[in-house]
């Protein structure tokens, strides 16, 4: 009995080892997952912040362009003696529209003075020009005024009559839109009025509006930090096409003129 008791009491039970190691590895994995999640969240936040910053910058550039456009319009067209017209007023024989790049045949006034008209391109036909009287104001009582271009109301122009005329003209091929609706050099020009406004017809590119891009630089940096473009459209050459006929009485003079424009006859506007 003593020998058996000694043998039984000589056996020792040890606890299982490795539990602390498993807990440690689990905590390390959990911390790694938390760290990766925090890095992903910070990356998303940073990208969102950069996107918001870029959006704010774009809006500021657009507002700046709008202020310049309004200022140029007031500066050049504010005087009562000034008139506006589109570049498409440059015409060929009989007043027909010019072919792209062709020289205008109506550039001379009745006094044989150049008006400053130029060739036009698909994309520049609807540039708005401001014209003044070349002659002295008092001469309007003795001879027909001679109009001369003062400025084309597009981004990038800075000089004015009589200091040599506009720098950027509708004849510049840099601002011509290709048949596919794109510009040749996207770093110098941008389409402001495209197919979503004027359609995709065979002659739609002639109704496109392309404008020069102006770079915004930060101090002396040679690399631009942004760009903008603006265009002043001439509302004086437009007319409403959705007017309904309201008068039918032949005794009313107002009923003798066209009361509606027949907009359904225009390409792309048929019912």
For residue 80, what is the enclosing H or E element?
Answer: none
The answer on pLDDT for 83 being more than 80 is: yes
3-state secondary structure at position 251: coil
The answer on pLDDT for 228 being more than 70 is: yes
Residue with tokens 């424009």: 261
On average, the pLDDT of the chain sits at 81
Both tokens assigned to 229: 């473009």
Overall pTM > 0.75: no
pLDDT of residue 174: 92
The answer on pLDDT for 14 being more than 60 is: no
Cα–Cα separations (whole angstroms), residue 245 to 241, 266, 269 = 11, 18, 18
Rounded Cα distance between 43 and 54, Å, is: 16
pLDDT of residue 10: 54
Both tokens assigned to 213: 């891009």
pLDDT in tens, 179-226: 788 898 888 999 999 888 888 776 788 889 999 999 888 777 778 888
pLDDT in tens, 95-126: 888 888 999 998 888 888 888 899 999 999 99
- pLDDT bracket for residue 70 (50, 70, 90): very high
- pLDDT bracket for residue 1 (50, 70, 90): very low
257 dihedral zone (left: phi>0; alpha: psi -120 to 50; beta) = beta
Q: What are phi and psi of 43, to 5 degrees?
A: -65, -45
Rounded Cα distance between 236 and 129, Å, is: 12
Both tokens assigned to 211: 């404008």
């Amino acid at each position: 009995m003593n020998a058996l008791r000694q043998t039984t009491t000589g056996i020792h039970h040890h606890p299982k080892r490795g539990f602390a190691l498993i807990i440690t590895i689990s905590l390390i994995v959990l911390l790694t997952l938390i760290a990766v999640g925090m890095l992903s969240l910070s990356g998303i936040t940073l990208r969102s912040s950069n996107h918001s910053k870029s959006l704010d910058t774009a809006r500021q550039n657009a507002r700046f362009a709008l202020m310049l456009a309004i200022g140029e319009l007031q500066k050049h067209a504010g005087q009562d003696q000034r008139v506006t017209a589109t570049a498409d007023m440059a015409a060929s024989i009989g007043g027909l529209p010019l072919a792209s790049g062709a020289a205008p045949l109506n550039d001379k006034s009745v006094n044989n003075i150049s008006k400053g008209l130029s060739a036009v391109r698909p994309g520049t036909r609807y540039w708005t020009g401001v014209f003044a009287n070349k002659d002295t104001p008092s001469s309007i009582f003795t001879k027909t005024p001679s109009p001369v271009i003062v400025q084309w109301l597009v981004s990038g122009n800075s000089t004015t009559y009589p200091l040599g005329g506009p720098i950027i003209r509708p004849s510049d091929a840099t601002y011509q839109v290709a048949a596919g609706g794109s510009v040749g050099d996207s770093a110098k020009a941008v389409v402001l009025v495209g197919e979503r406004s004027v359609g995709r017809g065979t002659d739609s590119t002639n109704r496109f509006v392309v404008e020069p891009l102006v770079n915004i630089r930060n101090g002396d940096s040679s690399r631009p930090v942004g760009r903008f473009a603006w265009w002043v459209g001439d509302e004086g050459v437009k007319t409403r096409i959705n007017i309904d006929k309201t008068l039918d009485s032949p005794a009313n003079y107002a009923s003798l003129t066209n009361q509606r424009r027949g907009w359904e006859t225009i390409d792309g506007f048929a019912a």
